[in-house]
Amino acid sequence: MKVIVVDDSSTMRRIIKNTLSRLGMEDIVEAEHGLDALSKLDGIDLIFTDWNMPEMDGLTFVKSVRASQTYKHIPIIMVTTEAGKEDIVEAIKSGVNNYVVKPFTPEVLKSKIEAVIGK
């Protein structure tokens, strides 16, 4: 399974990558923002994206992925500090498959992945 982690924080990308590696996912691509990620989606099976990023924020990125005939099927998990109910609803309406609020535990990330792609 090939995964992309989209976050403007290199520290957060590293935390997510390390967690995914411990869960057995080794093929992990990184992107600093939505525009960067759009150019790296070939072969991707699962997307993790932050909401607040420069260049192209996560919500705009999600909408761009969902508008693409090529990539609209890829499951998307948003990992963000935005914890308000209205934010979660907006993200789901935009096409996010699941939602993780920072900070998170490896168990939470694992359960969100399993909910999206199965065990």
Instruction: Let me know if domain 3-118 sits in CATH 2.30.29.30.
Output: no
The ranges assigned to domains in the chain are 3-118
Secondary structure in 3-state letters for the chain: CEEEEECCCHHHHHHHHHHHHHCCCCEEEEECCHHHHHCCCCCCCEEEECCCCCCCCHHHHHHHHHHCCCCCCCCEEEEECCCCHHHHHHHHHHCCCEEEECCCCHHHHHHHHHHHHCC
pTM of the entire predicted model: 0.95
Question: What is the tens place of the pLDDT at every residue in 72-115?
Answer: 999 999 999 988 899 999 999 999 999 999 999 999 999 999 99
pLDDT of residue 119: 61
